[in-house]
Chain A
Amino acid sequence: MRFSFTSEQEEFRSGLRRSLEAQSSTAEVRRLMETDAGFDRERWHKINRELGLSAIHIPEAYGGSGFGCGELAIVLEEMGRALLCAPYFSSVVLAATAIMKAGTEAQKQALLPAIAAGDTLATLAFAEDEGRWDAAGVTLTATPSGAAYRLEGTKSFVLDGHTADLVVVLARRPSSSGEDGLSFFTLPGETPGLERRLLKTMDPTRKLARLHFSSVEATLLGELGGASAPFARTMQQAAICLANEMVGGAEKLREAALDYAKMRMQFGRSLASFQTMKHKQADMLVDVELAKSAAYYAAAAVDEDDDDLPAIASLAKASAAEAYLQTAIHAIQIHGGIGFTWDNDTHLWFKRAKSSEILFGDAVYHRELMMQRWAQQGAAA
C-alpha cells in the first residue's frame, strides 16, 4: 500500500508511539547520549521484548515476525520521532537485512533468530576512512586461511560498532576492484586482532565506531565474491528506512515548533498570528508531507519488489534529508535565542537531522544515483 496504511498498521503505530513517548523522554535521551554505549542494554532489552521490534521484518522461519518493510518503516519513523537511543538501525536494518540477502540457509538459521530476539546486537561495517558509501570504495581485504579468512584493514562510520556482539563486514579479495571480489564476513565483536574505537560524533544520539582489523579471523557469509548485489539491496533498504526515521523526526520538530509559536506572545499577540510565522509553518508542513509521501512510497516499493527500487530509495533519502534539515533549521529559528541553548531540546533533533543527512550519502549523492537510473531510462518512471 503505497498511499495509505491499513488499520492494523495505524494501530501498531499509535501503540508504538505511546510506548516510545513513555520510554524515550528527552531526559532519557540526554542520559543515554552521554554514555559511551549510547544505550542501556537492560532497558533496551525490556522495550524490545515488550514490543517485538527487532523481529519485525525477519521471516518467521528465522524466528522473526515476518512483516514487511512497510511495518519496519513505521518502527523507524516512530523511533526517529522519539529519538530513541538504541542499537536498532545497526542490528536490524543493516546487519539482519544483509544476512537475509546474502547468507546461506544454514547461516540465516544460525544468525537471525538471536538478532530477532534481540539477544545478539549486530552491525554492518562497510564504509572506511574515505567516507564512501558504495561497495567500490571498499579496500579492506579478506585472504583465505584454512576454512576461514583473515581480514586486514579498517572500517569506519560503523553504527554501534564499538558495542556490537556480531559484526558483518564487507571485504574484498586482494587486488580485486570495483564491484568484483566483494564478500561479506561475520565475526564476533570481541575477536583477537580487532580494535574498536568509539568516534566522537557531532550527533551524540547516534554512535559511530572505527574498527581496525589486523589479521582478524572471520567466517564467510554467503557466496564468495557475491556480496555486490545483496549489499546494494541492503543499502537501498537502509536508505529507505533512514528516510522513514527522518520524516518521523522532522514531523516531531515541526509540531514542537508549531506548539512553541502558539504558546509564545510577542508584541502583544500570539507569535503564531504573524503571517511571516504562518507562512513558514505552512512551508514546513509542505516539506515534511512531501518527504513522508516519498518515504512511505519507497517502503511499499520494497515489499512490492519494484524494479525501480534503486532510484526510489535514493529519491526518498534525498527528499527526507533536505526536509529534515530544513525543518530543523526553521525549528531553531522559530524558538529564537532559546533554540540555540543546550537546555532546549531542539538541538537534539537538529543534530540527528544533520547526521541523517550525511549518513549513507547526502542529497547530492542520492540525486546523482537517482539520475544515473532515470537519465538512462530516458524518462521518469
Chain B
Amino acid sequence: MSEPTEDSVRAEVRAWLEANWNPDLGLVEWRNQLADSGWGVPHWPKQWYGRDLPVAFNTVVDEEFQRIGAVGVAKAGIRTLAAATILAHGTDFHKEKLLRRILTGEDTWCQLFSEPGSGSDMAGALTRADRQGNKWVINGQKVWTTSAHKAQWGLLLARANWDVPKHKGLAYFILDMKQPGVQVHPLKQMNGHASFNQVFFTDAIVEPEFLVSDVGDGWTVATTTLMHERRGADGLRSWATASDRKGRIYDEERAEIATTMEPYKWYPQRAGRVDLVLERAKEAGKLDDPVLRQEIAKLLIMSKSAEWTARRARAAQEQGRPQGPEGSLGKLVSSHVARLAARVHTQIAGADALLSGEDGPMNGLIAEILISVPATSIAGGTDEIQRNIISERVLRMPKEPSVDTNKPFRDVPRNLAGG
C-alpha cells in the first residue's frame, strides 16, 4: 500500500463521510460507526478504533468533518486522558471494555491524583491501596476532582507499598466510582463556583484486573496522563464550541458539551479576558489615558507573543521537527498574561472594581476575572513547578538535592498539624 498523503486521506475520509454521515442518527449510534470505521480517532491503532495514521493528518480529517458538518467522537473532559493512558499502558481487557464507551461519550471519567496533602508533590500521595485476597481496598482522600459526581470511572493513584521510596510505591488503578465506598462532595472555590470535588474512599474496592501496569509503576503511568493533560490544556476551547446546526444529533452534542463544560464556565475569566480590554477601556472613556495605554500595550504584547510562541511550537510539531524550548512555556506565560490582564481590568474599572454581581461591571464578570485569575498560576502545575520543569527538562539544570526520594516513604516527614 502506498504511503498516505494529505490528498489521499482527504479523499478517503470525504468519501466515507458522504456515504455514511446522517444527522438524524443518535449521537451514540453515530459515534459507534466512527469507532468501527476508525475515522473518529484516525491516529489510534487500527485494532482499537483508529487507522494508524500519523497525527499530522488529524487536521485534514477534522476539516472534512467540519465541511460536511459531521459530529466527532466525544473529546471533552478527562475521558481523553483516560483513553491516552489506557492506550499507552492498559491491557487488552481495559481497551476492550473501556475505549469504545469513551469515544461514544457514554462514560464520564475523573482523575484522582491530587490530595489535600500533596498537590505539586503528587508522588507523595497518602491514599492507601491494600491487598485483601485478590482485591485492592482503597482508603483516603482526593481533591480537585472535576466531574467526580458524574463519573463512572476514575483514574486513581494510590500507595500500595510504604517500605520503598515514594515514586516506587505507587499503583495506578481504574476505579469504579459508582460504589458505596466512594463519596463525592463538591468543593467551593474562592470565586464562589464549585467546579471540583473532594472524593473520600472508605474501603472502596478495585478488582485485580483494574490495576494498570505493575504495582510500583503507578508513577510512570501517571506521568503519561499528566503529559496529555498539559498538552490538552492548550486545546481546551477548540472543542468546547457546539455547532449551531439543527437536527437531533446536534441537539444531543450541544447537551453533552453544555454538561461537560459546566465546571469550566469561569475558565475564560481565570485566563484574564484579554479580549475585553480595548472595548472596556473605550466604554470607560479611558482609552486616552497614557498610563493605561502603556499597561494595555504591555498586556497585548505579552498575549500576542504568547500566541505566536504557541504557534511556533505547533508549527514545529506539524513539520515533524524537534520542538524547541518554545513548546514548554505556554503554561507559565498564561499566568503572566492572566495577572497582567487582571491589573488592567482593575485600572479600567476604577472604583467599580469593588463591586460584583449585578452591581459590578459587566454584571459581575469583571469581578469574576479578578477573583478567578489566582487559579491560573496554580491549576495544572504551579508556576514554580513549571519553572522547575523548564529549568530541568529544557535547560538541563540539575535537580535540587533531594531529601525524600532515597528512603522508605513511611520515614518521609508529613505535614505538621494544621498544615
Contacts and interface: CB of A to CB of B under 8 A. Distances in A.
A binds B: yes
Contacts of A370: 297, 300-301
B278 A374 contact: yes
B223 to A, nearest CB: 20
B305 A273 contact: no
B398 A294 contact: no
A272 interface: yes
B400 A378 contact: no
A371 B306 contact: no
A142 B384 CA distance: 60
Given A270-B398, A315-B301, A283 B387 contact: yes
Contact of B297 (A272, A293, A368): A368
Interface stretch (A224-232, A284-292, A326-334): A284-292
Contacts of A350: none
A364 B290 CA distance: 10
B390 interface: yes
Given A2-B311, A290-B305, A290-B309, A281 B397 contact: yes
A380 interface: yes
Contacts of B278: 374-375, 378-380
| Residue among A282, A364, A371, A379 with max Cβ neighbours from chain B (10 Å) | A282
Contact of B400 (A273, A286, A293, A294): A273
A299 to B, nearest CB: 12
Contact of A278 (B281, B303, B309, B392): B392
Contact of B391 (A281, A291, A318, A368): A281
Nearest to A372: B293
A274 interface: yes
A3 interface: yes
Interface stretch (B42-50, B92-100, B179-187, B313-321): B313-321
Contacts of B309: 289-290, 293
Interface of A is mostly: helix
B397 A273 contact: yes
Interface residues of B, number: 49
A262 B397 CA distance: 7
A367 interface: yes
B332 interface: yes
Contacts of A289: 309, 324-326, 329
Contacts of A39: none
Contacts of A274: 400
A318 B294 CA distance: 11
Interface string B80-114: 00000000000000000000000000000000000
A293 B305 contact: yes
B311 A374 contact: no
B351 interface: no
B282 interface: yes
Contacts of B391: 278-279, 281-282
B1 interface: no
B287 A375 contact: yes
A375 B293 contact: yes
B396 to A, nearest CB: 8
Contacts of A282: 332, 386-388, 390-391, 395
B304 interface: yes
B302 interface: yes
A270 B314 CA distance: 34
B288 to A, nearest CB: 8
A283 B391 CA distance: 9
Given A315-B301, A374-B300, A380-B300, A293 B293 contact: no
Contacts of B301: 294, 315, 318-319, 367, 370
A258 interface: yes
B323 to A, nearest CB: 11
A200 interface: no
B361 to A, nearest CB: 18
Contacts of A53: none
A378 B315 contact: no
A291 B305 CA distance: 7
Contacts of B303: 380
A218 B123 CA distance: 75
A269 B401 contact: yes
A275 interface: yes
A367 B398 contact: no
A293 B303 CA distance: 11
A35 interface: no
B218 to A, nearest CB: 26
A295 to B, nearest CB: 9
Interface of A: 2-4, 258, 261-262, 269-270, 272-275, 277-279, 281-283, 285-286, 289-294, 296-297, 315, 318-319, 364, 367-368, 370-371, 374-375, 378-380
7 contacts: A3-B314, A272-B397, A282-B388, A290-B329, A367-B298, A374-B300, A378-B282
Given A286-B333, A286-B390, A289-B309, 19 more contacts: A2-B308, A3-B308, A258-B395, A272-B397, A278-B391, A278-B392, A281-B397, A282-B391, A283-B387, A285-B325, A289-B324, A290-B302, A293-B305, A294-B305, A315-B300, A367-B297, A368-B290, A370-B300, A375-B278
Interface of B: 274, 278-279, 281-282, 287, 290, 293-294, 296-298, 300-306, 308-309, 311-312, 314-316, 319, 321, 324-326, 329, 332-333, 336, 384, 386-388, 390-392, 394-395, 397-401
- A-B pairs, top 8 by smallest CB distance, nearest first, are A367-B297, A278-B391, A282-B387, A293-B308, A282-B390, A3-B315, A4-B315, A290-B305
